[in-house]
Structure 1
Amino acid sequence: MKRISLAFLSLFLCVASVWAMPRPEYPRPQFERADWVNLNGEWTYSFDFGGSGMEREFYKSNGFNDKITVPFCPESKLSGVGYTDFINHFWYQRPITIPQEWNGKNILLNFGAVYYKSEVYVDGVLANRHFGGTSSFAVDITSLVKPGQTHSLVVYVESDLRGAKQAGGKQNLQYASYGCNYTRTTGIWQTVWMEAVHPEGLQSVQVLTDIGQQQLVVRPRFYKEQGGKLQVTLKDNGKVVANQTVSASSLSSVVLPVKKMKTWSPESPFLYDLEYKVLDKNGNIVDEVKGYAGMRKVHIEGNKIYLNNKPYYQRLVLDQGFYPDGIWTAPSDEALKRDIELSMEAGFNGARLHQKVFEERFYYWADKMGYLTWGEASSWGMDCNDTETARNFITEWSEIVQRDRNHPSLLIWTPTNEEFWPDRVQYPRLMHDLYNLTKLIDPTRPFHGASGGTHIATDIWTVHNYEQDPAKLKDKLYNGGKLMEAPKWEIHLMPMNIGYNGLKYTDQYAFPEYRKDMPYLVDEFGGIKWNPAQQTESAQNTSWGYGEPPRSLEEFYTRLEGQVDAVLSLSNDIWGYCYTQLTDVEQEQNGIYYYDRTPKFDMKRIHAIFSKTPESK
């Protein structure tokens, strides 16, 4: 009886520890291994305001004096720190114990995201250096640790947000939040975890869904190729649909025929389960990964976006992905799911994920719930004319595309937002590089270079317009049969030097104009400022939004419906919209919901407005 009680107590304490751990769920649901250790929770930390931590050998630390809760950034309340001034240098430390049963396997230390530059040390030895604040990365620490032993893990973080060489998104460049710029995020802001992987294990997969030929194609990559096999199984609610075994080689392609295919769409978000098994030369399973896939196709014909070969009108909402207590980090997995539920309850069928790379768990819920998404980088704050900045951004963007390209809910890639740079050499060069790189990594989606900005290389044409009067909005979007152009700079003839003989010639770069040969969307409009207290002068001075706020709630509904109707009435030429925005964010008060996600309006009326389609208007 005593043994049973002790066993029960041990199980209870184990379950309780999981419940107490922040963000305990596996962070990579499309590529999931069973053998992993979540490193979220209590770490120690130290500020390094003078940047002298290296001289003081902080990388050798066995523990700093203060404590922080990971994966929440030090600016957030949930981290337990709540320091909101600029943080240029920051150090983390925690012990890590390597399970004895991991002997003989490669031990990977995974970071969902660390803003911005990070260095990882194990027992004072540099294991990895990473640039990019929103992309995931893995560090192989096998040579630095021993199974059954405990080691000191130190992570050093640098961020120079004002230096204009790193993408910052909506992080504000002043001390305090202002306008549509908000509290900063520094350091670890997504889950950190360890996992054991066989040396011949699966490194990644690219999943290509071919609904035209009724098949699914998997392109694998391996850590090491030793003549083994890869077995891929596709299941429909536990029933095997297709199974294929090929050589465990990065040159192999696995082709799975899918009879009576069930396609993925917002109306029917069906997901097939995928199982990957790596077998050695003797037929033993050495690595096993679980994932899923949604069979769908997105493409462009003329001025429309098609989903599964049918024109699909997108009614999107701008989602900033900020939280009052976690800033860039959702307080829970349920909070990610709830944001999608709130958007759908408001009548939207998707979201433009704005100026932030959302974590994979958000895409997981979007995949499961049938919610369209546009993937966007946090491009604001960087100088696109600077070549070092371009290199930083291109590297980070390539990692973003590779991480998220298998998610069926993600329809469009958008690397930048509102780029109006007057430079006629480096900016066009960057846009063309991003276009070509993205198409190489993922040829299955349209590329949308600069949302509402100066379009150089793009498959989609977008504009932003916050005109508050519905009639004037319609006129500005469609004036005399001519669609509104994205803002652009005047480009003049300029001399340029070439070669070594001093020869000069004149050159001119003309930014493209819209020719009605691609989809045209209004991917930012509305932004109607509303707060019940905004009639007071103090509220007017402390909040921000677009235009003059309505004088009454009824006037709000009238203006909102008028704006939506104005866009819908132009559906022969405008094929979708994105309304600003899902929630208030700090001082910006133009959300459909308050910052704490409680409703601001009669949601039945809101849903009736945003669920309209060009046919139902």
Structure 2
Amino acid sequence: MTTTTHAAADAGAALDRLPLASRQDGSYPRPQLLRERWATLDGPWDFRHDDADAGLAAGWSAGLGEAREITVPFPPESAASGVAEPGFHPVVWYARTIRAADLAAAGRSAAAPRVLLHFGAVDYRATVWIDGALAGEHEGGHTAFTLDVTAHVADDAGDDGHLVVVRAEDDPHDLTQPRGKQDWHEDAHAIWYRRTTGIWQTVWLEAVPSTSIDHLRWLPAGPSAVDLTVRFRGPVAPGSRVRVALRFDERDEDLGTVEVTTVRSTPTVDLTVPIARQRNGQAEDELTWSPEKPRLVDAVVSLHDADGAPVDAVSSYLGVRSLGVGDGSFLLNGYPYDVRSVLNQGYWPDSHLAAPSADALRREAELIKELGFNACRVHQKIEDPRFLYWADRLGILVWAETPGAYEFSPTAVQRLTREWMEAVDRDVSHPSIVTWVPFNESWGIQHVADDPAQQAYSRALTDLTRALDPSRPVISNDGWEQQNTDIVTVHDYEGDGVVLGRRYADAAARERVVGGIAPSGRRQLVGGWADAGQPVMLTEFGGVNYQPGEVRADGWGYTAAQDGDDWVARITALYDAVRASRFLAGSCWTQLTDTMQETNGLLTAAREPKVPVEQIRRAVTGQR
């Protein structure tokens, strides 16, 4: 292939036609590959439990018969779904008709004849039929999948439309399934919450050309360029060209266009996109992304045939920033950066793991910033991409973590590895994501301290993550029993600020924590690994229970406050201890919101601050 750089008028015209991805409203389900036309299928669907697993034999794939109504995408355990039945229901069914108006809204036309049916997430194993014919299957409860259903909806079917039926299988007792914080008991207990079964992220239709842009992967390529991989759906004719036009919306500045000519049919194209203005090292920070200045660069990626005729175009965005570790520090854009993070479960009282709305995801990000944090650890959940969009746009560093499985076996290894690879592939382009976390507290590798097989698994998945994305640090096993980790992360719920301060005071304290038995009571480094001078972060601490107003009888935290003043004083003392440390490179407070029986949030479950926001912010930031 050949690569050229030039100012292309037609690419600039495409920018005028397509919406700027960096300024979207946050409702589009896939924010870094934006099209003008799409149709949501969220809302009322038919629904049936199938506890006896009789639906397949009874022919439910062609229609559910007597059914109740559910509101998609809220899980049937939640009140928002209208079902609100949290017990054990391992098989559930959904049905909804796609009508001509849905296909028109999705943009189906002669220029965009192929119809894609997207599912944001279905927990855990999904099978989809249209008009009784199998359309596709997917395994993995936290990652998106897409089905090309063009052949199934080739005609408008008149007033009857086309019936979509979804069967979801989610065995609550199958410990090989990655599940995160979903409880295996019927009632939520300890740190685990109500289960999420079936459809729990948005379902939507989209029409695309016969050959279309299917996926974009943006990664940094030094201070003045980015690498892009474009993946296609459908055949790419030899001689086709890919163009990438960049614009910095803050100044309406044209950053140039790159064109790649393919010499053969290929499912992907790789190119390096230079950003000429970044060659001026004295001015490069005017365009870089950080929590303080979350600048985003808009892009239009277009595909053209050998004659230059347009085939497909999408708008996207990227952030120009670099990540690394060195001299005991976490590095952002080459400089040490103090990470001030909060643990975010991403769980709502009425809708569980599903956000109540796209606006709720924006508000979640805004609250994190308002409370004084520059980062969040999305805990045991692969979060909705629309939250990641607001993290990109508002400036929040994100720890991206896989939901754990609880059993160690070949099946568990295969399932978690496959789902984690899908998650990394989906989210790799978000500038807000700054670390990958494939394990937490030895979940699924409970004997990693001594078991060579579990040690091999932990090392392998950590290294596999680096192979998929060499641009970000990887945390091997957050909090406990780490091996080949880029950041040493410690979990410590000591409630006394004075004690915590001594524990993390200086180099001698670091040696005790990292080189020996950590506050968790476990060895911090295992498998023959020794302290290599990595950054050390306290990635779970705090967890102070305080319940203003009505007190929940089963509510708890790791320690408890008597009243609001005592609560703020405890938070301040613990943060003062962290700030006084001579070696901690960052921290993560537990947690953002109360979550079911865990009443140790800075906010209530309804996202209301327990004391005025200014008081919490002063405690977190130390700014008096």
Shorter-chain TM-score tier: 0.7 to 0.9
Closer/same/farther in 2, CA of residues 124 and 24 from structure 1, 3 Å limit = farther
**Is 1:81 the counterpart of 2:83 in the alignment?**
yes
Equivalent in the alignment of 2:409: 386
**Which shifted more, 447-456 or 589-598?**
447-456
Cα shift at 1:302: 2.6
**Is 1:233 the counterpart of 2:231 in the alignment?**
no
Q: What secondary structure is seen at the aligned counterpart in 2 of 1:451? A: coil
Matched-pair contact (CA < 8 Å) for 1:113–1:135 = yes
Closer/same/farther in 2, CA of residues 611 and 43 from structure 1, 3 Å limit = same
Matched-pair contact (CA < 8 Å) for 2:246–2:255 = yes
Q: What secondary structure is seen at the aligned counterpart in 1 of 2:173? A: helix
Equivalent in the alignment of 2:554: 542
Mapped to 2, the partners of 1:327 and 1:471 lie a distance apart of 37
Cα shift at 1:216: 2.2
- Of 452, 462, 486, the residue aligned with 1:459 is 486
Cα shift at 1:172: 1.5
Instruction: Quote the sequence identity (%).
Output: 34
Equivalent in the alignment of 2:541: 525
Q: What secondary structure is seen at the aligned counterpart in 1 of 2:36? A: coil
Closer/same/farther in 2, CA of residues 221 and 24 from structure 1, 3 Å limit = closer
**Is 1:178 the counterpart of 2:189 in the alignment?**
yes
Equivalent in the alignment of 1:573: 583
Matched-pair contact (CA < 8 Å) for 1:303–1:516 = no
Mapped to 2, the partners of 1:525 and 1:281 lie a distance apart of 58
Q: What secondary structure is seen at the aligned counterpart in 2 of 1:133? A: coil
- Of 271, 274, 282, the residue aligned with 1:253 is 271
Listed as ranges, the matches of 1:105-254 within 5 Å are 105-149=113-157, 150-212=161-223, 214-223=224-233, 224-227=235-238, 228-237=240-249, 238-248=252-262, 249=266, 250-254=268-272
Equivalent in the alignment of 2:4: none
Matched-pair contact (CA < 8 Å) for 1:273–1:292 = yes
Equivalent in the alignment of 2:572: 561
**Which shifted more, 587-596 or 513-522?**
513-522
Cα shift at 1:513: 4.8
Matched-pair contact (CA < 8 Å) for 2:486–2:534 = yes
Mapped to 1, the partners of 2:43 and 2:428 lie a distance apart of 29
**Is 1:349 the counterpart of 2:374 in the alignment?**
yes
Q: What secondary structure is seen at the aligned counterpart in 1 of 2:495? A: coil
Mapped to 2, the partners of 1:308 and 1:63 lie a distance apart of 58
Cα shift at 1:418: 0.6
Q: What secondary structure is seen at the aligned counterpart in 2 of 1:161? A: coil
Closer/same/farther in 2, CA of residues 271 and 562 from structure 1, 3 Å limit = same
Closer/same/farther in 2, CA of residues 336 and 490 from structure 1, 3 Å limit = closer
Report the aligned-residue RMSD.
Answer: 2.2
Closer/same/farther in 2, CA of residues 41 and 141 from structure 1, 3 Å limit = same
Equivalent in the alignment of 1:504: none
**Which shifted more, 63-72 or 462-471?**
63-72
Closer/same/farther in 2, CA of residues 164 and 106 from structure 1, 3 Å limit = same
Mapped to 2, the partners of 1:40 and 1:391 lie a distance apart of 31
Q: Can you give the 5+ residue segments of structure 2 that lack an aligned partner in the other structure?
A: 1-24, 279-283
Cα shift at 1:551: 2.5
Q: Deviations over 1:397-431 (max 9, x none)?
A: 00000111101111010122110621513322221
Equivalent in the alignment of 1:29: 31
The one-letter code matched in structure 1 to 2:127 is E
Mapped to 2, the partners of 1:172 and 1:510 lie a distance apart of 29
Closer/same/farther in 2, CA of residues 449 and 102 from structure 1, 3 Å limit = farther
**Is 1:511 the counterpart of 2:511 in the alignment?**
no
Matched-pair contact (CA < 8 Å) for 1:122–1:153 = yes
- Of 275, 292, 295, the residue aligned with 2:317 is 292
Closer/same/farther in 2, CA of residues 278 and 490 from structure 1, 3 Å limit = closer
Mapped to 2, the partners of 1:337 and 1:286 lie a distance apart of 34
Cα shift at 1:113: 0.6
Closer/same/farther in 2, CA of residues 118 and 109 from structure 1, 3 Å limit = same
Equivalent in the alignment of 2:620: 610
Equivalent in the alignment of 1:494: none
Cα shift at 1:393: 0.4
Cα shift at 1:141: 1.7
Q: Can you give the 5+ residue segments of structure 1 that lack an aligned partner in the other structure?
A: 1-22, 492-508
Q: What TM-score comes out, normalization by structure 1 length?
A: 0.87
Cα shift at 1:328: 0.8
Mapped to 1, the partners of 2:91 and 2:53 lie a distance apart of 6
Mapped to 1, the partners of 2:256 and 2:318 lie a distance apart of 13
Mapped to 2, the partners of 1:102 and 1:382 lie a distance apart of 47
- Of 436, 444, 447, the residue aligned with 2:463 is 436
Matched-pair contact (CA < 8 Å) for 2:484–2:529 = no
Closer/same/farther in 2, CA of residues 252 and 524 from structure 1, 3 Å limit = closer
Matched-pair contact (CA < 8 Å) for 2:44–2:71 = yes
Closer/same/farther in 2, CA of residues 164 and 488 from structure 1, 3 Å limit = farther
Closer/same/farther in 2, CA of residues 24 and 39 from structure 1, 3 Å limit = farther
Q: What TM-score comes out, normalization by structure 2 length?
A: 0.86
Matched-pair contact (CA < 8 Å) for 2:483–2:526 = no
Cα shift at 1:202: 1.3
The one-letter code matched in structure 1 to 2:292 is E
Cα shift at 1:457: 2.6
Q: Deviations over 1:547-589 (max 9, x none)?
A: 3x1233322222211111111211x311100000111011111
Q: Deviations over 1:299-352 (max 9, x none)?
A: 111311100011000000000001111111111121111112212221111100
